[in-house]
Amino acid sequence: APPHGRWQGPVRQPVRREAADQDKEYVGFATLPNQVHRKSVKKGFDFTLMVAGESGLGKSTLVNSLFLTDLYKDRKLLNAEERITQTVEITKHTVDIEEKGVKLKLTIVDTPGFGDAVNNTECWKSVADYIDQQFEQYFRDESGLNRKNIQDNRVHCCLYFISPFGHGLRPLDVEFMKALHEKVNIVPILAKADTLTPIEVKKKKFKIREEIQQYGIKIYQFPDCDSDEDEDFKQQDQELKDSIPFAVIGSNTVVEAKGKRVRGRLYPWGIVEVENSAHCDFVKLRNMLVRTHMQDLKDVTRETHYENYRAHCIQSMTRMVVKERNRNKLTRESGTDFPIPVIPSTTDTETEKLIREKDEEKIVQIKKNP
């Protein structure tokens, strides 16, 4: 019996009312990620990957293995005599890949001829110029009147192939990475890992990491894990960091091993499997490039490397404006009718000329449509 001997009726069930109250309090912005996801999938993604390193280190094979494509069908291999006089050229291959309804426009930038000549003095300059040209083109498009369909050709990542034949980094490796580390995300690759024993791979990796730190080379840094990430993800992230430089093997040939058909290389003493983590770091590199860090590579390119270039351009423009004002001021104060001749500045680069032309176009457009 209830207290005081009185019956108080059935207990009220508040479930429906509480649910209705929650619906009233629910605004709906929790669905924003789904909206962004749908829009991104519809638009598609783009990624530009540069591969650099001397000939014969398996760059083409690795790229084909990574994305299961054949980008080098019509490639012509040069003989030794032709390679002596060959200069570094930049070649671009673009392929559209689709997986589970998600489209990726992949651009591979290759650097044939790098490190092949007898005299390799400043052979990285054309590579650095190419990266700057893509920044310049994006800056011009971004500053233009029509900004709707800007094509992003900025290089998001550079895989730099290090020869396994030698003791650590060569002077050319050091100079290349130091010349480009402020412009692009560099990921060092220890090529042809099947030519080394596991102990040699471990020693070489340690030596290369030591020299990268010694010479102050800034390679791509993996972002730190958030505190709320699960332990498996943290362990996977740490394994990626410890794998630098990635010791890789590339192969487009399918061989049979233990009754299974796998991509690998067949030797008299056995089979090296490309996608076996015990044999090489190919799977780790593919996961890093495609599954876990592709967006971060693009973010670092946009927020760090491109912003540094953009800030430099704006500073140059500001200096030009200040010079022009000072020149006009001197003309007015001197009372002369003729302009004071300007000594051509050595810092007036092609970029500044293009920016000035773009500004003049804007002024003409404003006058036409006031």
pLDDT of 157 > 90? The answer is: yes
Given a contact cutoff of 8 angstroms between Cβ atoms, the answer to whether 244 and 237 are in contact is: no
Return the pLDDT at 351.
Answer: 65
- In sequence order, which residues have a C-beta less than 8 Å from that of residue 25 and are 6 or more positions away? none
pLDDT for the residue numbered 347? 46
Q: Which of 49-53, 335-339, 355-359 has the highest mean pLDDT?
A: 49-53
Residue 288 pLDDT > 80:
yes
Tell which wins on pLDDT, 147 or 86. Answer: 147
Mean pLDDT, residues 313-325 taken together: 83
**Lowest-confidence segment of 132-136, 226-230, 260-264 by average pLDDT:** 226-230
- pLDDT tens-digit map of 8-39: 555 555 555 555 555 666 667 677 777 776 77
Compare 332 and 171 and report the one with higher pLDDT: 171
For position 154, what pLDDT does the model report?
92
pLDDT tens across 207-224, in order? 999 999 999 999 998 887
**Is the pLDDT assigned to residue 164 strictly greater than 60?**
yes
Largest Cα–Cα distance of the chain, in whole Å?
Answer: 111
Selection from 6-15, 55-64, 115-124, 297-306 with the highest mean pLDDT: 297-306
Query: Which helix (H) or strand (E) element contains residue 106?
Result: strand 102-110
Of residues 264 and 88, the one with the higher pLDDT is 264
pLDDT of residue 340: 41
User: Which pLDDT does position 55 carry in this prediction?
Assistant: 79
Q: Please name the residues in contact with 115: beta carbons below 8 A apart, sequence gap of 6 or more.
A: 53, 54, 55, 123, 172
Local structure of 202: helix, strand or coil:
helix
DSSP state of 132: H
- Cα separation, 324 vs 284, whole angstroms: 54
Residue 346: predicted pLDDT: 44
- Does 1 have pLDDT greater than 60? no
Q: pLDDT grade, residue 343 (50/70/90)?
A: very low
Q: Which residue has the higher pLDDT, 73 or 302?
A: 302
Is the model more confident about 178 or about 120? 178
Beta strand spans in 222-310 (E): 246-247, 254-257, 260-267, 270-273
Residues 6+ positions from 158 with CB-CB distance below 8 Å: 49, 50, 51, 52, 180, 184, 185, 186, 187
The CA distance from 226 to 12, in Å, is 45
Percentage, residues of the chain above pLDDT 90: 19
Which phi and psi (to 5°) does residue 362 adopt? -60, -45
pLDDT, position 205: 92
Q: What is the pTM of this model?
A: 0.74
